[in-house]
Amino acid sequence: MPAAPFTPAQNTALKALAARTADLSDWCATIFDFGETAWREYRSAEWYVQRLRAEGFTVEEGSGGMPTAFCAEWGNGSGPVIGLYAEYDGIPGNCQARGPRRAPRPGLGFQAGGHTDPHSGLGIAGLGAALAIKAAMERHGIAGGIRFTGEPAEKLRGSKPIHAARGYYDGLAAILSFHPFYMLPMCNTVRWDTHCGAAYAMVYRFICDAPERWGAHDGAPIPQAHSAVRAPGAGEALTLMFTASKALRESMLPHTGGWSISEAVLTHAQATADNLPAGLAELQYMIRVPTLAMAEAVTAALDRNAEAAAAMTGCRWERHWVSKSRPGLANHAMAGAVWDCLRTLGAPEWGPEARAVAQSIQRVLGLEPMADPFIPEMSALLAPQDAEAALRRDLPPAQTHSTSDDYTDMCWHAPTARFYIARPALRAPAGFAYPAWVMNALGGIPATIDPMVERAAQVLATTGLRVLEDATLRANAAQEFERRTGGGIGGAEWLAPLCDYDPPIHFRWPEYVTTPRGHDWWIPSAMAHA
């Protein structure tokens, strides 16, 4: 069945986006070049706040107690409010310039932060859509509003559980969630039934603040001789926790469900070589699993490991939450509305300039440039039901959720649609794998990333306006939300926010620093030693 034609307001939004194509490209490059990482996206958040205020939005900075979060609102009288958002965090160790060869951004080393997904394009697509919806609402006298949130630390599933617990998603008619495609078959399609799963993230902190209690000594408060026995300390506790959890990982959960546990050392040692025990060490874990019960099981095992490691090393231990997020909730009414707009607009299109960039990368890697260097899935649409069937082929029948993303917390507060637009990805010759920098570069080069940003903004804008204009769609989406939650927010099947912790902003998260030596990453760049 063909998709319905766009309304005059939707066409106005598309024209507004077309008029700002150059702006979207420049803005995307700006956020990409900031390359800031979780909880430390200061320049990115400031840029969004200033831009939104200049466009007539009222903006709350530091929303939910998070310095790099925000909540922007604009209204045109009383009516339904649509929810959109930006993400803008990158990942340490992925610094990449916007060019067709491996190179860090100017003045930095490869260990600095960079965009991998890329959230730079995700956020600018959302911003472009918000501005286009606003323009259409003004021109056509559409009542209602737009709530646009800034979501830091997505890679840690950080901000959305906090925003959800503090009411920032309440009262919305719908939320639209876009993400650049990152796995097949979820490309140019909409999630249907199998949404992303639960995730817990935490920091285990080991503190050795009473080393004098360790073992026998000659009565001195702290052994002073360099050869004296000393408490093992926090560095040893971290090492034991790290290795024990690696060794026991296979016993934490059964081999089903597509679960994963990742770790990162935040601080380690904090001592000199003066035979003094390390006083502080911190180790972060991220648990991605289909169900909350599985997350609780892993957390219990990690707690036991932490307690044992602390006891063996003369330390005490603490667990601090970074994220506790719920599994996703489907809404077919909203998913269908997004799909209608996507199939009317079609897949993104990449022109000769983008192909030339891709071929240049292939040459740099010693490959014969391909006439069509991009994977075919980038240029095709996949119906949500077909994507669902393909996704389910690799999952146990009883598994209801798969993969990980924190949009899931939004789903429990308003009807939410999650969709994916193709980002550039290259065809690979048999037996060849592209290095990671290639995808990062393609996500920053305007010729290759702009088509994704433009199409995603168009889908967001046209769907958002349909929500605002179509009372029947809103009613159907709300009715389905109430049915799936057993009565809406607070219903029998509704999952309340799990966030019972303060924003974890005070840990030693990697960040940029500015000193008399200049602007650099916390790990000095190679240039600093030239």
Predicted confidence (pLDDT) per residue in 188-218, tens digit: 999 999 999 999 999 999 999 988 888 655 5
Q: What's the pLDDT at 79?
A: 96
> Tokens representing 369?
């440039």
Q: Is the pLDDT of residue 239 over 70?
A: yes
Per-residue confidence (pLDDT) for residue 258, from 0 to 100 = 74
Higher-confidence residue of 55 and 232: namely 55
Stretch 264-287: mean pLDDT: 87
Task: Please check the confidence at residue 501 and state whether its pLDDT lies above 80.
Answer: yes
Helix %, strand %, coil % for the chain, to 5? 40, 20, 40
Amino acid at 305: N
The arrangement of strands across the sheet holding 260-267 comes to: 260-267, 280-289, 198-207, 316-325
Model confidence at 431, in pLDDT bands (50, 70, 90)?
very high
Q: Nearest Cα to 201, choosing from 152, 166, 161, 256?
A: 161
Domain-wise residue ranges, the chain:
8-197+327-485, 199-325
- Alpha carbon distance 6, 513 (integer Å): 48
Taking the C-alpha atoms of residue 32 and residue 37, their distance in angstroms, rounded to an integer, is: 11
3-state secondary structure of 280: strand
pLDDT band at residue 230, thresholds of 50, 70 and 90?
confident
Residue 529 has pLDDT above 50, yes or no: no
pLDDT, residue 528, reads 44
Mean per-residue pLDDT, 63-78 = 97
**pLDDT attached to residue 527:** 52
Does pLDDT of 104 surpass 60? yes
The dihedrals phi and psi of 61, each to the nearest 5 degrees, come to -85, 150
The model's pLDDT over 110-124, given as tens digits with 9 standing for 90+, comes to 999 999 999 999 999
User: Shortest CA distance to 494 belongs to which of 404, 414, 402?
Assistant: 414
Quote the pTM value: 0.94
Question: What confidence score (pLDDT) does residue 216 get?
Answer: 58
Q: What is the pLDDT of residues 151-166, one digit of tens each?
A: 999 999 999 999 999 9
Map residue 60 onto helix, strand or coil: strand
At residue 106 the predicted structure's pLDDT band, cuts being 50, 70 and 90, is very high
Instruction: Write down the mean pLDDT value for the chain.
Output: 93
Which of the four CATH numbers 3.40.140.10, 3.40.50.1820, 2.60.40.3670, 3.30.70.360 does domain 199-325 have? 3.30.70.360
Lowest mean pLDDT among 40-44, 275-279, 381-385, 387-391: 275-279
DSSP state of 219: S
| CB atoms near residue 75 (< 10 Å) | 16
Q: Going by CATH, does the domain composed of 8-197+327-485 fall within 3.40.630.10?
A: yes
